[in-house]
A and B are shown apart, each in its own frame.
Chain A
């Protein structure tokens, strides 16, 4: 149990287009999901906290109008990168916190975004 999926696993897009990434908790409900970004050979940096039914909380320096987050259900959060540019190319990883139990955080497999 405790599986988190992301879709797509990789995406290549043209500069100026928007890309939507989905994060799903497959076998548990997640009130809270987190979105992280990881540039090559770097650490994971938290972008935002996604709470079901409310607005996301963004970390300092992350543009909320550029990285749109929607957590419409207890099993799905989406991250939309609007007007993507090459500097947005990165590995985007979500994590989901199981609402019941030990509050353990489970990571998705990540989405590799390449903006041309």
Chain B
């Protein structure tokens, strides 16, 4: 089955700096890679996703890159704000709507 590794497990950044989270996956059949933000006790919220036919996708301060050959993908958050503090999860699946395999999560703290 699929295995998703996520690093780092914790990340502390100064407000305004960038944050980068990296994930690797094992199953070459995976084609859909979403990123979720989860606040304590709440549901995961989809913040951005990328499909295997695209190498990079950007949405305002958030960008995701995908290297299918190397089986890794990354989340980039620029100009971080205190409200970006949360746990972020990467995930992989064969297609949108299929079961998701999640990475271990990254606890991001943005210090004002």
Interface residues of A (CB under 8 A from B): 32, 34, 42-46, 49, 60, 91, 93, 95, 97-98, 102-105, 107-110, 112
Interface residues on B, range: 10 to 19
Q: Which residues of chain B are within 8 angstroms of A49 by Cβ–Cβ distance?
A: 99
Of B11-19, B37-45, B75-83, the one with at least 4 CB within 8 A of chain A: B37-45
Nearest residue, chain B, Cβ from A96: B97
Are B42 and A105 in contact, CB atoms less than 8 angstroms apart? Answer: no
Task: Using A43-B103, A45-B102 as known contacts, say yes or no to A97 and B42 having CB atoms under 8 A apart.
Answer: no
B86 within 8 A of A: no
Closest chain-B Cβ to A30's Cβ sits at a distance in Å of: 10
Are A104 and B97 in contact, CB atoms less than 8 angstroms apart? Answer: yes
CB proximity to A under 8 Å, residues B85-109: 89, 95-97, 99-105
Are A34 and B100 in contact, CB atoms less than 8 angstroms apart? Answer: yes
Q: Which residues of chain A are within 8 angstroms of B42 by Cβ–Cβ distance?
A: 109-110
Q: Which residues of chain B are within 8 angstroms of A110 by Cβ–Cβ distance?
A: 41-43
Identify which of A45, A46, A105, A112 gathers the most chain B CB atoms within 10 Å of its CB. A105
